[in-house]
Amino acid sequence: MYTIGIDVGGTNTDGALLFGHDMLAVVKVPTDHEDLVGSTRAALEQLLRSCPAGAEIELQLSTTLTTNTIVEGKGTPTAAVVIPGPGLNLDQCGLDLPFHVLSGYVDHRGRVIADIKADQAVDAALEAKRQGAEALAIVGKFSQRNPRLETAAAQAIRGAGLEFSYITLGHEIAARLGFPRRVVTAYLNSQVAAAQERFIRAVQELEEFRTIRILKADGGTMTLAQSRQRPIETILSGPAASVMAALALTRYTEHNVAVVDIGGTTTDLAVVVGGLPVYERDGAVIAGYPTAVPAVYSRSIGLGGDSEVHLTVEEGRASFTLGPKRAGKPACLGGAHVTPTDAISALRLAEVGNREQAVAALQAFASPHGLSWQEAAQGIVDAFVHQLCQAIHAVYDELEGRPVYTLAEFLEKPELMPQVIACLGTPAPAIMPAVGEKLGLPVEILPCSASANAIGSAAARPTTGITLHADTALGQMSIPEMGLFKEIERPALFDQRRARREALERLVEYARQSGLDEVPELDIVAEEAFNIVRGFRTVGRIFHIGAQIRPGARRIRVKEGT
């Protein structure tokens, strides 16, 4: 089976063609921002030449479509209708979006304490429409424990004959706790739904593919149908693709790996523990919006091959700092600025551009400060290494400081610290050996750096997860991802084993719905169980179980000379 991975990035569109685990070809074409499907088509056409006619092909796509739609504010005008109940004053949530408040609320156990008023919902929707909203998000606090109020509000609005191009309900889009993030996620989902729909239609007309899958922020893929319902999950698939590429290419499949992807403007850092990527605790942040979208943990620092170089001389000591902004094209490539790339070129750490131009630029930069070009070049490289090491330390400090809520987790902290650094990006071979030396870690330079995101897209596998919440005292259970809210049959017999079994069985069912033919390994990733005691009697139990398909990437072999 052939697999084509395409990443439509900000500057270039990369493509990679696989046959099974073997990489056959990579391509690169410039991205046309007005026509992302056109860019996809251009990359595809080149790759298809390496495929036999009539071969079965699966296409895996990663695009900046939803990310750009949000960042550039080009989405459908949307408003949120919220049911916050008591708690934090919504005006202090920092919600940077139009919202309309309904009365009524659900408590932390999922009990409806007060119903919504249908006419209030209709009025809110009318008001939203009057202010120009074409799509809606309806979100209630604790709606993932009980979606009744959200559903009732949607029914009232639809029942009144009010038309919206898209309505997202909070419980369908964010299963985790976190009302403001759920509001934002549902809001953005409605905002990008139309753009995603247009994109999907165009993609479907491209070619006959066996399957088409879209890359998500968590590094997994989803079907086109799923991406229609939850387009918001396709944000930030670029950084996710780079982590997937590292997982696909690294020799260290079971290890703790720090993934460093050095680009022109920024360097992205990600973390792999025991062969599995680490995720954001609460969700992706996009354009300043904290969302509940599951995402691969990734930190971007303003340090790259084209970074600005700053030199300060104090008491005869020169010190260099780099970034956080991009200076422009390096001198060795015909630019006007001294950049880290020039230092790399001048010191012959790598063959880049015209070395003489690099040396000349460094000389001009350094001599007013009484430095030789060699000293300046070495200073810049040292600063790069130093700043990168600091950023790597900061990433691990942050992860080690993540709160835990049980003794077991506190006492048996998983070892996160890296055993190896896997690197992507053109400057990596020049810079990373020194970083590895400084951190005392081996460095692995991954092949095909220039097409990493396309490789990551091709290597990604479907990911799916569910969160089961069962409350046997109330006799209710929910799996919001599946829209499942039901009574527990015979709650007195519903114990932890049954809760676990229920979660795993439902996950299999959900995986099938998600277009997975065979169900890979399943993991219970979170498990909590509590006795509900009232008046010194146990009246029930609460189980909270997170289960997922084990994430990961298809291993990819790169033959010499690809």
Partner 1 sequence: MAGVGLIFFPAFDWCITPDHPEREERLLYTRDQIQEEGILDLPQFREYRPRMAAEKEIQRAHVFVPSLRAHITESHLIAAGGAIAAADLVMGGKEERACALVRPPGHHAMRVVHGQRGFCLVNNEAVMVEHIRQKLGPEARIAIVDTDVHHGDGTQDIYYNDPNVLHISLHQDGRTLYPGTGFLSERGGPGAYGLTVNIPLPPGTGDEGILAVMESLVLPILKDFQPDLVINGAGQDNHFTDPLANMQVTAQGYARLTELLKPDIVVLEGGYAVEGALPYVNLGILLALAGLDYSHVIEPDLTRYNLRQNQAVTETIAYLIDSVGEQWAQRREADLEGIFGSGDFFQRNRMIYYDTAGITESQRSGIRLCSTCAGWERIETRSDRFREMTCAVLLPWNCCSKCRSEAEAEYEEAAFSRRFRKVALHDPQKDHFTELRK
- For the chain, the farthest-separated pair of C-alpha atoms sits apart, in whole angstroms, at 83
- Mapped onto helix, strand or coil, the DSSP state of residue 376 is helix
Which tokens is 89 given? 């004053």
Which tokens is 128 given? 């939203």
> Binding segment for partner 1 among 104-112, 121-129, 301-309, 518-526 (CB under 8 A)?
104-112
Which tokens is 447 given? 């092949």
Which of 2, 99, 164, 179 contacts partner 1 by CB under 8 A?
179
Site string for partner 1, 121-150 (x = CB under 8 A): --------------------xx--------
Considering only CA atoms, give the Rg of the chain.
26
E strand residue ranges, 412-508:
420-424, 443-445, 465-471, 476-479, 484-487
Asked if 376 contacts 343 with a C-beta cutoff of 8 angstroms, the reply is yes
> Binding segment for partner 1 among 161-169, 227-235, 395-403, 455-463 (CB under 8 A)?
395-403
CA distance 83 to 127: 16
Which of 535, 559, 560, 561 contacts partner 1 by CB under 8 A?
535
Residues that bind partner 1 (rule: CB under 8 A) add up to a total of 43
* Residue 415 touching partner 1 (CB under 8 A): no
Which of 178, 275, 447, 515 contacts partner 1 by CB under 8 A?
178
> Which is nearest to 249 in space by CA: 18, 562, 553?
553
CA distance 171 to 194: 20
* Residue 498 touching partner 1 (CB under 8 A): no
Asked if 458 contacts 4 with a C-beta cutoff of 8 angstroms, the reply is yes
Strand partners, 51: none
Vertex 205 angle, CA 202 and 207, to 5°: 130
CB of 282 to partner 1, least distance (A): 7
* Residue 398 touching partner 1 (CB under 8 A): no
Which of 205, 536, 559, 561 contacts partner 1 by CB under 8 A?
536
The smaller minimum CB distance to partner 1, of residues 91 and 254, is found at 91
The smaller minimum CB distance to partner 1, of residues 185 and 449, is found at 185
* Residue 88 touching partner 1 (CB under 8 A): yes
- CB 74: neighbour CB atoms within 10 A? 11
* Residue 199 touching partner 1 (CB under 8 A): no
* Residue 181 touching partner 1 (CB under 8 A): yes
The smaller minimum CB distance to partner 1, of residues 34 and 397, is found at 397
* Residue 48 touching partner 1 (CB under 8 A): no
Asked if 452 contacts 422 with a C-beta cutoff of 8 angstroms, the reply is no
* Residue 411 touching partner 1 (CB under 8 A): yes
* Residue 115 touching partner 1 (CB under 8 A): no
Which residues, numbered 269-298, are part of the site for partner 1 (CB under 8 A)? 282, 290
Output b/e per residue, 517-554; b: 16+ Cβ within 10 A. Answer: eeeeebeeeeeeeeeeeeeeeeebbbbbbbbbbebbbb
* Residue 406 touching partner 1 (CB under 8 A): yes
* Residue 450 touching partner 1 (CB under 8 A): no
* Residue 87 touching partner 1 (CB under 8 A): yes
The smaller minimum CB distance to partner 1, of residues 166 and 543, is found at 543
> Which is nearest to 322 in space by CA: 470, 400, 431?
431
Which of 33, 348, 402, 512 contacts partner 1 by CB under 8 A?
402
Strand partners, 468: 545
The smaller minimum CB distance to partner 1, of residues 81 and 380, is found at 81
Give the footprint of partner 1 on this chain (CB under 8 A): 84, 86-89, 91-94, 107-109, 113, 141-142, 176-181, 282, 290, 401-408, 410-411, 528, 530-533, 535-538, 542
